[in-house]
Amino acid sequence: MEKPHKRLDAWKLGVESTIDIYRITKTFPDDERFGIISQMRRAAASIPNNIAEGAARQTKKEFINFLCIAQGSLSELDTHLEIAFRLGYLSAVARVEVEAKMLRIDKLVSGLIRSLKTPHPLPLTPHRGKGK
């Protein structure tokens, strides 16, 4: 099924980052399964999910709202990464790699929001009247 969100780089990178988070959290202690592992996975998945849901909405205002929620999930995931790093569950290398993708997603989402907020003029059509 070809949906509009599948053409968005922010969504594509969000899915990729979610897969990264699932792989990274597999190495976390088993006793964190219902703690930080679950929280990180849900926050990561929330990013592309909200981009997709927003893209399917009827108005720009609704789309912007869901993009803002995706940015909130990015911030939540950033906090979980910090905690996981401080607990020694996450290597510095993995942290830098994930944060680089998250920064790229944030820039793409911010650009989408700016674009949706900017009024776009209607394209000019040449005059098609008779003669000159």
Task: Quote the pLDDT of residue 2.
Answer: 79
DSSP structural state of residue 4: G
**pLDDT tens, 40-59?**
999 999 999 999 999 999 89
Structure-token pair, residue 30? 């088993």
Q: Are 86 and 49 in contact (CB under 8 A)?
A: no
Domains of the chain, start order: 4-117 (1.20.1440.60)
DSSP state letter for 58: S
Q: How far apart (Å, rounded) are the C-alpha atoms in residues 1 and 17?
A: 22
Q: What is the average pLDDT score of the chain?
A: 91
Rounded average pLDDT over 98-112: 96
Residue 123, pLDDT > 80, answer no
Instruction: Examine the pLDDT at 127 and tell me if it is beyond 70.
Output: no
Q: What is the value of pTM for the model shown?
A: 0.85
Please tell me the predicted confidence (pLDDT) of residue 44: 98
Tell me: the pLDDT tens digits for 85-103? Answer: 999 999 999 999 999 999 9
Give residue 126's pLDDT.
60
Distance CA 35, CA 127 (A): 64
Grade residue 132 by pLDDT with cuts at 50, 70 and 90: very low
For residue 39, pLDDT beyond 50: yes
Query: Which ranges constitute the DSSP H helices of 36-59?
Result: 36-55
Average pLDDT, stretch 68-94? 96
Q: Which two tokens stand for residue 114?
A: 């700016």
